[in-house]
Chains A and B, each alone.
Chain A
Amino acid sequence: MVNEKRASVGAKGPLNCLIVDDSAFARFRLRRLMDSLDHCVASEAANGNEAISAYNRLKPDIVLMDIVMPGLEGVETVRRICEADPQARVIMISSVSYRDKIEEALAAGAKCFIPKPVTTEELKRAIDKVMDKDEMLDVRC
């Protein structure tokens, strides 16, 4: 677990983000992308149980969530987070990106899906969509 911090959020200000991925490299890369977009990484989690605990503690504006993780995997983690907080904004970011899995992730409550490797532009577009719309997105960001 990394040191936790929160950005001071204005209407259009930096977002507080939770990064969930079992890969230290993937978390490093996503943190770098979020830094480049001037958002704040409030915390990181390496599995689903850590993610649920961090989400409940921090209530981040946005969650970036992997799917394939040891223990509690990503889709079930999203389901549990969104059952407890239907307003949760989760973007799935995974190399496993077949149709049924994307539909499963969206049905679990994810707002958007980006296949890895993610670029800065794709991440920015996804965040903009998720933060601008209240309704469920039914397509890849």
Chain B
Amino acid sequence: MRLEFVKTFIDSTTHLFQEVVCSDAEVASIKMRPSPVAGGEVMAIIGLMGDAQGRVIFDMDSLTATRIAECMIGEPSEGLTPMVRSAIAELASMATGRAISEINNGGVTLKMSPPTVISGANISYDHCLETLVAPITTAYGEVRVNITIQDLK
């Protein structure tokens, strides 16, 4: 786990929440887990590749996702519409893009994939890779940022 990068991802996410959805974002206790946390109803997944590889998963319940997206869109939404899913994907993409930009400016090459959003009851991500989970409390509910990033062997 490239722990020195983790703070960059968490900071970019909290700053983006303040900037895009005008919500304070507080990070609760960060924990290392053997795999990403399961159980959220909405996951935005972004792959990382380059000098290191891994993924970032933004995991939240559907009400939180809808409320965040409504703020971004500027109008009410009826649940997890395609536009709500797209807004969540864009938020994840902006947070990750900002983090990898800072990391690249520090001399480490890191690229990101376009985001993928999956949703449903009790969804999980079955890759058992050591993951750092940062629960972020926002005005709209909790967003968990699951970060896995490892050097290439």
Cβ A95 vs Cβ B83 within 8 A: no
Closest A-chain residue to B115, C-beta based?
A: A23
Cβ B114 vs Cβ A117 within 8 A: no
Q: Mark B1-23, 1 if CB is under 8 A from A, else 0.
A: 00000000000000010011000
Q: Name the residue in A25, A26, A94, A117 with the highest tally of chain B Cβ atoms < 10 Å from its Cβ.
A: A25
Which residues of the other chain, B, contact A22 by a CB distance below 8 angstroms? 114
Cβ B104 vs Cβ A100 within 8 A: yes
- Tell me how far the C-beta of B51 lies from the nearest C-beta in chain A, rounded to whole angstroms: 13
Cβ A94 vs Cβ B86 within 8 A: no
Cβ A96 vs Cβ B86 within 8 A: no
Which residues of the other chain, A, contact B82 by a CB distance below 8 angstroms? 24
Question: B-side binding surface: helix, strand, loop or mixed?
Answer: helix
On chain A, the number of residues with a Cβ less than 8 Å from chain B's Cβ atoms is 21
Q: Mark B70-104, 1 if CB is under 8 A from A, else 0.
A: 00110000000011001101100111111011101
**Knowing A23-B89, A23-B90, A117-B19 touch, does A98 contact B101 (C-beta < 8 A)?**
yes
Given the complex of chains A and B, what is the CA–CA distance between A69 and B93 in angstroms? 11
B residues whose Cβ falls under 8 Å from a Cβ of A: 16, 19-20, 69, 72-73, 82-83, 86-87, 89-90, 93-98, 100-102, 104-105, 112-114
A residues whose Cβ falls under 8 Å from a Cβ of B: 22-26, 28-29, 68-70, 94-101, 115-117
20 contacts between A and B (CB under 8 A): A23-B86, A23-B89, A23-B93, A25-B69, A25-B87, A25-B89, A26-B90, A29-B72, A68-B114, A95-B94, A95-B97, A96-B97, A96-B101, A96-B112, A98-B101, A98-B102, A101-B101, A115-B98, A117-B16, A117-B94
Known: A25-B73, A115-B101. 9 other contacts (CB 8 A): A23-B93, A25-B90, A68-B93, A70-B114, A95-B94, A95-B96, A98-B105, A99-B105, A117-B94
